Structure 1
Amino acid sequence: MKFSQYKRQVQKGFTLIELMIVVAIIGILAAVALPAYQNYMLKAKFSETYAMASPYQLAIGMCLQMTSDLKKCGAEQNGVPPNMTKPTPHVASVTVTEGVITVTPTKTTNVLSTLILKPTLTANAVIWDNDASLCLKAQGDTPPLCTALEKVSGNAS
């Protein structure tokens, strides 16, 4: 017999175990990535609450600069916009009471994760805090959607 008859055939394609390993790795990655992606999407939707609060923050900052009195900085007073009652896809309402802004998200985010912004007028700035916000804590299956604000903010001048 000739040596060429016993030549080993070159393997073509993948073996079953190699394919099973690849499928297992993809499954593990998907199991880790899916919850992280869902949390990311909730936080992205929740960012609209901050965007909706921004014009109110500016107006209240200007009101405080002019009046130095939170009680005069309610909705439709001294340049503060009226309460927002027409819902957007991710924000159900925005209300202002004596300078405190309350933004309630819709069920697409989590109705319980309310954002509450309270202003404080200092010598040269308006400082906002969200310590009373329900979005700082997990609400059922929803993770915390906001973090505590640092106690610094833009100038009120």
Structure 2
Amino acid sequence: MKSAKMIKRVQRGFTLIELMIVVAIIGILAAVAIPAYQDYVTKAKVAKVASAVSAVQTAIAQFSQENGGTLASLASADNWTSLGLSGAPTTTTEVTGISVSAAGVITASIAPAITGTACNIVYSPTVGGTAIKWAVSTTCAAPVPAIVAKWN
């Protein structure tokens, strides 16, 4: 009779060791996923900087085309009308400001939310005839320089 009761006894849950194994697996997955997610978020924010600057890059390229492949007559940095723009591009939570030098160098000021400190991404044009090539550099801390290096 006693053995019949033991056979009918069915396991009704998980043992402590099984639960501990599941918690350990979840912890390992989180340790790998969280840094990868943070890098993904940083890449997305830096891509927004490139998007914000693209209108100014296009305006500078057009200015170069209209002036015989040169940026020599580009007005001062605050004269957006010489580029055919009504004003400086609007800022976002990632980009706190965009400026253009008389040589056509674009400087995008980055909000501290991306890297923890304020920094800049600089787009330097090289005009060769009718073509324009942009060299991109940064004063930001890691991982932004690695992201920007892929743009060159």
TM-score category of the 2 structures, normalised to the smaller one: 0.7 to 0.9
Aligned to 2:127: 121
Aligned to 2:105: 100
What is the CA RMSD across the aligned residues, in angstroms?
Answer: 2.6
What is the aligned length? 144
Q: Structure 1 residues 3, 17: CA separation in 2 closer, same or farther (over 3 Å shift)?
A: closer
Aligned to 2:23: 23
Aligned to 1:13: 13
1:149 pairs with 2:121: no
TM-superposed CA distance for 1:69, in Å, is 2.1
For residues 94-133 of structure 1, give each alpha carbon's deviation from its aligned partner in whole angstroms, at most 9, with x where no partner exists.
Answer: 0011211111111111344421111122244211111x32
Structure 2 counterpart SS, 1:71: coil
Amino acid at match of 2:39: N
Amino acid at match of 1:128: W
For residues 21-49 of structure 1, give each alpha carbon's deviation from its aligned partner in whole angstroms, at most 9, with x where no partner exists.
Answer: 00011111112211221222122122221
| Structure 1 residue runs of 4 or more that deviate by more than 6 Å after TM superposition | none
Aligned to 2:66: 66
Gaps of 5+ in 2: none
Gaps of 5+ in 1: 151-157
Distance 2:35 2:5 in 1: 56
Amino acid at match of 1:147: A
Q: Structure 1 residues 3, 15: CA separation in 2 closer, same or farther (over 3 Å shift)?
A: closer
Kept in 1, the 8 Å contact 2:80–2:88? The answer is: no
1:79 pairs with 2:83: yes
Kept in 1, the 8 Å contact 2:52–2:89? The answer is: no
Q: Matched residues, percent identical?
A: 36
Kept in 2, the 8 Å contact 1:89–1:106? The answer is: yes
Distance 1:58 1:45 in 2: 21
Distance 1:2 1:89 in 2: 72
